[in-house]
Chain A
Amino acid sequence: DTAVSQTPKYLVTQMGNDKSIKCEQNLGHDTMYWYKQDSKKFLKIMFSYNNKELIINETVPNRFSPKSPDKAHLNLHINSLELGDSAVYFCASSPQGSGGAIETQYFGPGTRLLVL
């Protein structure tokens, strides 16, 4: 009965590799997000999708490409991984896509990415 799930939970890889992180929500929400939490514990929004359409794209390198095959899934593909990409990546969802005016967001457990 997991609400927001992410795979994998841990990801260790070499610099230069390409990797993907998957996210699924079974809450019927319209909007999904990707956040990055760096080593200093700052959580920052990366992308937001509403009904499969990109609505927010913060200043993120082009190596990061989100893909939403349907509104229950939002995957994150990262090309040419760099050391600075090491972080915890959180997926989240919210019901209607206002981003939080009257609703909260539900977070996944996070994916811990370590680039060596």
Chain B
Amino acid sequence: RKEVEQDPGPFNVPEGATVAFNCTYSNSASQSFFWYRQDCRKEPKLLMSVYSSGNEDGRFTAQLNRASQYISLLIRDSKLSDSATYLCVVNSNDMRFGAGTRLTVKP
């Protein structure tokens, strides 16, 4: 079993749609969790950290369920500029990435 598993995607959605990404991790001792965004041929950049209480940043909502070892990212009112690959990252003394989920938002 992979240490970090994500929805394989790809997700193709119209502008304005709501889309959700899921991620599970295997190491129960994992300390911190993140969602990164990677544009084509660029380095990943932090989108948001994920806290136990859940957190929201504008149209983006991240949630963590430690009992189920599951994190999620919800994007509301998606924009064309949201098209990218979204990477789930779990820190267990090393930063492990999920395979990434590609999102394409279409007009």
Q: Does A associate with B in a complex?
A: no
Q: Give residues in A with beta carbon < 8 Å to B.
A: none
